[in-house]
Amino acid sequence: MAENDQKEVRHHGRIWHRVLVGLAACAGLLIIFHRPILLSIGRQILLRYAARENLKVDFRLEGNPFSHLTVRNFRGFPSGPSAIESIDIDQLYVDYSLLGLARHGLSHLLQDVEARSAQIVLNPAKASPRKPRPKQKLKLPSLFPERIRLANATLVIRADPNDFVVEQIDLDLNPRSPGEVRIGKLQLPSGDSWSRISGQTSYTNKNLILRDLVLSGQEQIRFLNVDASRINTKALGLKLDCSIGGGQLSASAGLIETESSLNAKINITGQEIAAESLNKFLFLPEDSLSGEIARLSLDATGTIDLPRTWNGTLALQISNVDRPKIHFDSGVVEVSAERGNATLRSADIVQDKNEFHFHGSMELPAAIEDFGRTPTTLEIAGTAPDLQRLTAGTAVQLTGSGQFTGKIDIANANVNATLGVTGNAVGFSDGTVDKLSCTLRASKNVARADTKRPWFSDLRTAMEFDLAGIRYRDHFIDSIEGSLNGSDDILGLDRLSLRRNQNELNVRGRYKLPEEVGKASSQPAELDVALNAPEAGDFWAADSPNKLSGP
């Protein structure tokens, strides 16, 4: 029996020996002939991926798949809906370490990346519709090469009214010596452009520093730092010190990736900045921001997508804001957040004699999508002795004076608002009102930001108004009283009563709100009108040529 067992062991040993020899032989053959096979496989993978992204590409692939690859004559263009309009790269060289990837992850994969004569044109407007995806975890970028070289590279992003263009980029980020970045042309969507700009660079241990990039006398980057030296521990640092709009702006951020999100520490300070100069750099329409930012200060910490963890303060002083529908002399805002609560300490807007004051508080939500659903209180108070100044540039221009009060409360995802307005000697186009008062009460259940419902869902409204001493052209009305109420998409006119001496006009009705506000005029409405006019002529001025007399 022992001899048979020994023969069986030797038999199995010979089988495993033959298997190992066969595997070794296959490995040897793979090492000898691996390049053509693996390069062909790599090419097919890239072609399949491009086709899936609606791109048709052609290129030549060279190199050693285990350490470095060179892509030559890469040409790509869309074969369907795609944000990529074209890709043209004469040469792309990538040196990488599979051992570094295995031992330390993606942050140690890329060693050297070099692109020559490259042009990429993007058109976001032609991108294919995005498919709904589960919420993704926020992550820091991991791929930071040890060295980067760009020669004659161009990036174009189609935009309105002008393309964003960075043309003829020459850049050498060498960890062993300082370098320089040169840009032949930089154009922003606003149309502002600069030519032949340059700055000094260094890139020691993946710590990028850019100095003295001058766009104009008022706009220059004195210092820009992207510190990825600790990216293998999931940490990234950012710093910026620049001149913009005749003022100074400094910013810094520290980002740390956790198992579920990103923790951030952010600091921003600014002084004497012409706000309109920010529009072009933030890719905003020309008239989005205006005025002068006398002081801006933001100091905040927390997990980016968990508002309840936010702590910090924000202070803003701005003056001389002049937009098509917003004009004021000065504004001051102070906000703080700590222990899961945000407080609007003050928001004061002054427009000559007109003043508006806001203050309130909010319980910060656990998720960004729940903003507007957590317990919140906002109080509003305003006095406007000069309605003409307040309404300048709006569709309805008024004169006279007014007062405003309001309070908005949110509890259990339900908004309750009460707004009150009173006015004296209010003038409007072709008419005047001696006195007016109006009170609006509204409530609405607030759905999450990612929920789609008609805007009027769960909306409840009630309004009472009272006007006295009304004159419109050659018409006179002693008083107008009325009330409205709304429930979801039905708006009811409970009562509208117009009186002039012994004459009285009463109107009731209902109206169905549209899902699209632009279609308001096409919605059905019902009105019941009752007129009791012993002397209809009282509604007109005595000398009016249009006067009607009689009952």
- H/E element, 251: strand 247-257
The percentage of residues in the chain with a pLDDT greater than 70, rounded to a whole number, is: 93
Does 102 have pLDDT greater than 60? yes
| Residue 275: φ, ψ to 5° | -60, -35
Per domain, the residue ranges of the chain are: 33-126
3-class DSSP assignment, residue 30 = helix
Proportion of the chain above pLDDT 90, given as a percent: 59
Question: pLDDT averaged over the chain?
Answer: 88
Encode pLDDT of 253-279 as tens digits: 999 999 889 999 999 999 999 999 998
Distance CA 345, CA 335 (A): 6
For tokens 């002529």, the residue is 537
Give me the mean pLDDT over the 458-469 stretch: 93
Residue 6 pLDDT? 47
What pLDDT digit, counting tens, does each position of 39-72 carry?
A: 777 778 888 888 888 899 999 988 888 889 999 9
Under 8 Å between Cβ of 283 and 295: no
Query: Which amino acid is present at 295?
Result: R
Q: Mean pLDDT throughout 395-421? A: 92
pLDDT for the residue numbered 8: 47
Note whether 201 and 193 are within 8 A (CB): no
| Cβ-contact 532, 500 below 8 angstroms | no
Mean pLDDT of 461-474: 93
- pLDDT recorded at residue 25: 58
- Mean pLDDT, to the nearest integer, of 316-340? 91
Question: Which uninterrupted H or E stretch holds 133?
Answer: none
Q: Sort residue 108 into left (φ over 0), alpha (ψ -120 to 50) or beta.
A: alpha
The two three-digit tokens of residue 392, written as one number = 């300048």
Report pLDDT digits (tens) over 415-452.
Answer: 999 999 999 999 998 899 999 999 999 999 887 766 78
Is residue 74 scored above 80 in pLDDT? yes
Lowest mean pLDDT among 65-74, 388-397, 427-436, 476-485: 388-397
243 has which bridge partners? 220, 248
- Going by pLDDT thresholds of 50, 70 and 90, the confidence category of residue 197 is very high
Closest by CA to 235, choosing from 252, 256, 208, 265, is 256
- Tell me the C-alpha distance between 196 and 216, whole Å: 12
Flag the least confident range among 142-146, 236-240, 515-519: 515-519
CA separation for the pair 216, 197 (Å, rounded): 10
pLDDT at 33: 54
Q: What is the pLDDT of residue 43?
A: 79
Predicted local distance difference test score (pLDDT) of residue 310: 96
The pLDDT, as a whole number, for residue 76 is 93
436 close to 449: Cβ distance less than 8 angstroms: no
Spatial distance between the Cα atoms of 246 and 467, rounded to a whole number of angstroms: 49
Q: What is the pTM of this model?
A: 0.80
DSSP state of 219: -
pLDDT at site 450? 67
Q: How far is CA 286 from the centre of its chain?
A: 16
Question: Over 60: is that where the pLDDT of 391 sits?
Answer: yes
pLDDT in tens, 331-387: 999 999 999 999 999 999 999 899 999 999 999 999 888 888 899 999 999 999 999
Contacts of range 21-29, beta carbons closer than 8 Å, 24 or more positions apart = none
Quick one: average pLDDT of 392-403? Answer: 88
Question: Are the C-beta atoms of 524 and 512 separated by less than 8 Å?
Answer: yes
